[in-house]
Amino acid sequence: MTTTLRPESPEELRPDGGRTRRWLICVNGRPVGSLRTTATPYGEQRWGTVSELEVTEGLRRGRATVGSLAAEEVLRGWGCSRVDVTVPAGNEAALGLARLLGYSERMRNMAKHLGRAPGLPAGLTVRPIGPDRFEDWLARAKEGYVSHLTGSGLAEQEAREKADADHRQLLLQGHATPGTALRELVDAQGTVLGTLWLTLRQSALPDGSPLAWVMTVEVAEEHRGEGHGRTLMRLAERECLAAGVADLGLNVFSSNTVAIRLYESLGYRLTRRVLGKTLL
C-alpha cells in the first residue's frame, strides 16, 4: 500500500512572502486524512510548520507518521531549514508521534481566565515605556528573545532574523502601537525593577471572546528573586481587565522551568506544546 500527499487546495502566497497549502493524505489514491504545510521567511531563512493533521481512517496503521514525513519533504522542497509542530494539551498520541519523529519541545502555551483584578504591592508604581526609553527596551527585548531561540537550538543568525521580523511585525508603530501595553515597574526611589509587554486582543477564543497575550516579562537582573515577576504578571492581568479582556495567554520556553512554576502557581494552565527539529 502506498501513502502519498495530494493537494487539497491551491497553494496560497502569504503577505509576508511565505506560502501554505492543504494536503490530503492518500492510501493508494484514497483520502484517509489531511494536513497543512506552511513556510514562513525570516530574512534568508525559512521556517516550516506542519499543522491541521487529521487521520480519519486507519489511525493505527502509520498514516499520520507517513503523512508527517511527506510533509517534511514538501517543506524541504520549499527551502525550510526547520520545522515546528503544535500539539494540544492532553493529546498524548500526537505528542508521542512528534517525539517518535525526532521533535523536541521548545515552547509551551499557557492561558488563564481572569477574575477580579489583583492588587499590587505598596510602594511600587507603574509607568508607560515612552519614546525616550523605547529603543533601549527594544534592544534588550530582542537580545532576550535571541538568547531563548538559540537556547532552543536555532543558529544565532537565524534567531536574530526571526527576532527582527517578529518585533517589526508586532510593534509597527513602536511604543504607540495600538492595542499594546508597554509598562515599567518602578520602586519609590525611581529604580526600574522590571518591564512588561502585553498585546491586548491578540486573537480570539473559539467562542469569539478576545484573548490577550503576554509577550515579555523581564525583571532587572539585580532584582531577580524578589517577587517582581509575580507582580508584573498581576499587572498584566490588571491591564487586561481594564481593557475588557478576561483571558490571558503566554508563551514560555520549555527550558525556563522557573517561569513555568511561577505561571502554574498563578493559575495558568497548559494549552499546547510547540515542538521542533532541524530539517537535514
Q: Is residue 167 part of a domain?
A: yes
Triad 230, 234, 240: Cα angle to 5°: 145
Q: Is the dihedral of CA 226, 229, 230, 236 positive or negative?
A: positive
The count of domains in the chain is: 2
State the residue range of the domain holding 203: 112-273
Q: Share the mean pLDDT of the chain.
A: 92
Q: Which three cell numbers stand for residue 53?
A: 493533521
User: Under DSSP, is residue 155 helix (H, G, I), strand (E, B) or coil?
Assistant: coil
pLDDT tens digits for 88-102?
A: 999 998 999 999 999
Q: Quick one: 143 and 241 in the same domain?
A: yes
Q: Quick one: 230 and 146 in the same domain?
A: yes
Q: Quick one: 124 and 66 in the same domain?
A: no
Q: Quick one: 30 and 164 in the same domain?
A: no
Q: Quick one: 149 and 245 in the same domain?
A: yes
Q: Is residue 178 part of a domain?
A: yes
pLDDT tens digits for 33-89?
A: 999 999 998 777 888 999 999 988 766 668 899 999 999 999 999 999 899 999 999
pLDDT tens digits for 92-129?
A: 989 999 999 999 998 999 999 999 989 999 999 999 99
β pairing state of 180-186 and 192-204 = antiparallel
Q: Quick one: 138 and 260 in the same domain?
A: yes
Q: Is the pLDDT of residue 231 over 90?
A: yes
Say what the pLDDT of residue 252 is.
94
Domain-terminating residue out of 80, 98, 125: 80
Q: CB–CB of 195/185 below 8 Å?
A: yes
Task: Give CA–CA dist 117/119, Å, rounded.
Answer: 7
Query: What is the average per-residue pLDDT within 248-275?
Result: 95
Q: For the beta carbon of residue 197, count every other beta carbon within 10 angstroms.
A: 22
Q: By CB neighbour count within 10 A (0-12 exposed, 13-18 middle, 19+ buried), where does 30 fall?
A: exposed
Q: Is residue 200 part of a domain?
A: yes
Q: Quick one: 73 and 196 in the same domain?
A: no
DSSP annotation of 79 reads T
Smallest CA-to-CA distance from 183 within 252, 238, 248, 250 is with: 238
Domain-terminating residue out of 26, 57, 80: 80
Q: Is residue 107 part of a domain?
A: no
Q: Quick one: 152 and 250 in the same domain?
A: yes
Domain-terminating residue out of 38, 62, 80: 80
Q: Quick one: 140 and 266 in the same domain?
A: yes
Instruction: Please enumerate in sequence order all residues whose Cβ is within 8 A of that of 45, keeping only pairs 6 or more positions apart, or say none.
Output: 81, 82, 157, 158, 161, 162
Q: Is residue 88 part of a domain?
A: no
